[in-house]
Structure 1
């Protein structure tokens, strides 16, 4: 074989390998960046859902402490958020949200609470129905944050 042909082929193969390496490096970099952005967006979406759920659950719980007639639209909204958590969140978070929903419904069935009874519930901590849910959310969000880096 002619040495000039071998030289030309070596140059072409080297250029092809260099080009493929560059393309592969760019693809991997883009893929990593897209994954990081998706994880950050997912974490923010979950934080918003959890915040909205806590707000809605608090309103429903206060209403349940004061009334025997449930606010069906608020309960429907609350259970819609629980269903979204079943899709987006870990099983622990969704299960804790479901426990809260059940406690709220049970509270509607219980007699109305007086201010003195509510004060007693504050003193013994029984009024806090969101504690385990908040802990599960924190653990999940910390896990997502650790995966991001």
Structure 2
């Protein structure tokens, strides 16, 4: 009779172990998928923020080249985007974005330029792209974040 008990207990233990293994595998798979979904969502948020900052900063810089009067709502929007980058823990992008903000404000207080002035500046090798460092920093941070 003991052989029957051993056989039944072995079968029962095998079923329990198989069930637990299957349950653990399912839980682990769902957890991994949820984490991948969160990372994809966070990456999309960062990409949208960077895109919006580049578009807004480009327009504001273009305005600063030809005008001497800053448009405060546009500057406030840019500062809000920089603060959102801080929240998302993008330190290098924040530092470069602050440099872009400084360049934009300095450009407002510089003499207005014409298209001919900009052409001459480009011919002499002058910098007219304050977003270059920001773009490179953002690309590196997004690449590092995506590889998580």
1:68 Cα offset (Å): 1.3
Q: Deviations over 1:83-119 (max 9, x none)?
A: 1111114211111111101111111122212332222
Q: Deviations over 1:49-101 (max 9, x none)?
A: 11110000011101111111110000011111111111114211111111101
1:6 Cα offset (Å): 2.2
Q: Which residue pairs with 1:68 in the alignment?
A: 68
Moved over 6 A (4+): none
The alignment yields a C-alpha RMSD, in angstroms, of: 1.6
1:13 Cα offset (Å): 1.4
CA distance in 2 between counterparts of 1:125 and 1:109 reads 18
Instruction: Tell me if structure 2 keeps the 8 A contact 1:46–1:89.
Output: no
The count of aligned residue pairs is 147
CA distance in 1 between counterparts of 2:64 and 2:102 reads 12
CA distance in 2 between counterparts of 1:115 and 1:89 reads 38
1:125 Cα offset (Å): 4.0
Cα 1:142–1:24 change in 2 (3 A) is: same
Structure 2 length normalisation: TM-score? 0.91
Within a 5 Å distance, the mapping from 1:12-23 to structure 2 comes to 12-23=12-23
Q: Which residue pairs with 2:32 in the alignment?
A: 32
CA distance in 2 between counterparts of 1:52 and 1:60 reads 12
Q: Which residue pairs with 2:140 in the alignment?
A: 139
CA distance in 1 between counterparts of 2:81 and 2:121 reads 26
1:29 Cα offset (Å): 0.9
Structure 1 length normalisation: TM-score? 0.90
